[in-house]
């Protein structure tokens, strides 16, 4: 269904991005791998994708740097013409739990730039080609229950950036609908470690007592939703915020030590 479409997945050398890139290759897409530091992993994934019979490229670019975003899009346009499918997977996250008052200004700028402003900037860069083709798919990443604009104690800046992205997702989906472009957000649950790169069959008998579903989440849980949203026949599905969490509420308040 997606044969010869060009898919750019940011932050795709590892984790959920990698699993998504492979899923697009299976659908016949030419896939652009984006990475910052994981050059070895990106090159290995490049070989794996090209062995699947599609074209691929691995481009180093930090999504928090606008000039690097511009350079990446120029390279893609030179070789592939443009981007048909954009998956904004990359986004900085500070794992340390802390109060908002303990964040530095540098940390605040980094999180907002990487999770909100850079997403808008990259969307803006790919829209002219999508409009020209009268076809495009844009995927944003959020967190569970982001659509409810709930507070997330000890994750204030990250949550604020993603919740802002919810509004932007809904707005852009309406503005670009007439051009054949859909815009949706996926909100993965607590998918950890190597589970981000495996398939559902690998965990179907594994017990996860925290999950209402009873099993851990996997990268396939996320990638199969993304590839569905990017199908041509999914053009009536736009402006949606989709939780992929097995029913688990990720916003749990932890006591500060």
pLDDT per position as a tens digit, 207-243: 988 888 889 899 999 999 999 999 999 999 999 999 9
Q: Residue 124: its pLDDT value, please?
A: 98
Give 233-239's long-range contacts (Cβ < 8 A, gap of 24+).
233/1, 234/182, 235/180, 235/182, 237/182, 237/184, 238/173, 238/177, 238/182, 238/183, 238/184, 239/169, 239/170, 239/173, 239/174, 239/183, 239/184
48: which 2 tokens?
């794996």
Q: Residue 110: its pLDDT value, please?
A: 96
Whether the pLDDT of residue 255 is over 80: the answer is no
Q: Residue 211: its pLDDT value, please?
A: 87
CA–CA distance, 157 with 17 (Å, rounded to integer): 23
Whether the pLDDT of residue 166 is over 80: the answer is yes
Q: Supply the mean pLDDT for the chain.
A: 94
What pTM does this model have?
0.95
Whether the pLDDT of residue 54 is over 70: the answer is yes
CA–CA distance, 170 with 140 (Å, rounded to integer): 11
Q: CA torsion angle for 58, 61, 67, 69 (degrees, to 10)?
A: 60
Q: Residue 220: its pLDDT value, please?
A: 95
Structural domain 6-244, CATH architecture = 3-Layer(aba) Sandwich (3.40)
Which whole number is the average pLDDT over 118-138?
98
Question: Of the ranges 14-23, 145-154, 180-189, which one carries the lowest mean pLDDT score?
Answer: 145-154
Q: Residue 81: its pLDDT value, please?
A: 97
Q: Residue 256: its pLDDT value, please?
A: 52
Which whole number is the average pLDDT over 179-204?
93
Which whole number is the average pLDDT over 38-43?
96
Q: Where are the domains of the chain?
A: 6-244
Q: At what angle do helices 118-133 and 156-176 cross, to 10 degrees?
A: 20
Which whole number is the average pLDDT over 52-65?
97
Q: Residue 254 — very low, low, confident or very high, per pLDDT cuts 50/70/90?
A: low
């Amino acid at each position: 269904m997606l044969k010869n479409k060009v898919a750019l997945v940011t932050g795709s050398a590892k984790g959920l991005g990698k699993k998504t890139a492979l899923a697009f290759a299976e659908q016949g897409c030419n896939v652009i791998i984006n990475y910052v530091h994981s050059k070895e992993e990106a090159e290995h994934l490049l070989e794996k994708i090209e062995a699947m019979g599609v074209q691929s490229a691995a481009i180093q670019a930090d999504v928090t740097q606008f000039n690097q975003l511009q350079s990446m899009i120029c390279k893609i346009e030179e070789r592939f013409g443009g981007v048909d499918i954009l998956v904004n997977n990359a986004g900085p996250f500070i794992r340390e739990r802390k109060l908002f008052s303990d964040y530095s200004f540098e940390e605040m700028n980094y999180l907002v730039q990487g999770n909100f402003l850079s997403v808008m900037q990259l969307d803006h860069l790919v829209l002219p080609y999508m409009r020209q083709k009268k076809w495009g798919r844009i995927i944003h990443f959020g967190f569970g229950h982001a659509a409810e604009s709930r507070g997330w104690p000890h994750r204030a800046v990250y949550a604020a950036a993603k919740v802002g992205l919810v509004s932007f997702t809904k707005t852009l989906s309406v503005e670009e609908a007439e051009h054949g472009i859909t815009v949706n957000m996926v909100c993965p649950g607590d998918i950890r470690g190597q589970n981000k790169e495996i398939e559902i069959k690998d965990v179907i008998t594994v017990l996860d007592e925290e999950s209402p579903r009873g099993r851990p989440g996997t990268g396939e849980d996320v990638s199969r939703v993304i590839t569905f949203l990017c199908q041509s026949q999914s053009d009536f599905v736009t402006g949606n915020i989709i939780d992929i969490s097995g029913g688990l509420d990720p916003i749990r308040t932890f006591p500060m030590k």
